[in-house]
Amino acid sequence: MNLEELKKIREKAQKDVELRQKQARIRIVVGMGTSGIAAGARDVLKTFVEEVGKRNLTDVIVTQTGEKGLASQEPMVEVFEEDKPVVVYGNMDPEKAKRVVVEHVVNGQPVSEFAI
């Protein structure tokens, strides 16, 4: 594992980067305020990031934001998708995050039981 490998990644990834920069198809935003972090938001964020990496979802961006103002439902996650209403998920954990990736992000079906 060394930095030489970054060069290989650069060559490999060059193609889909332009596409991705133009417009990500889906944006996953994890609330990372103090209460979110205390409730486990870091592990939720990590799960989303790892799934996107593993599944090579080059048109999906995972990012984070501050307090969501609904501390009782932390960790909270918003999924923004082109031309669709935003879906807000509450009380998330890594297992739920995996389901959101499979069902919502990959297959286009929001997981209504986690939505708030």
Q: What is the dihedral of CA 107, 108, 114, 116, to 10 degrees?
A: 170
Residue 41 CB burial class (10 angstroms; 0-12, 13-18, ≥19) = buried
We find the least distance from the C-beta atom of residue 14 to another protein, in angstroms, to be 7
Helix (H, G, I), strand (E, B) or coil at 82: coil
Q: With contacts defined by CB under 8 A, name the span among 1-9, 76-84, 86-94, 100-108 that binds another protein.
A: 1-9
Binding another protein by CB under 8 A: which of 22, 23, 54, 85?
54
Does the footprint of another protein cover residue 7 (CB under 8 A)? Answer: yes
Q: With contacts defined by CB under 8 A, name the span among 36-44, 75-83, 92-100, 103-111 that binds another protein.
A: 36-44
Which x/- pattern, by CB under 8 A, does the window 93-112 give for another protein?
--------------------
The C-alpha atoms of residue 78 and residue 64 are separated, in whole angstroms, by 10
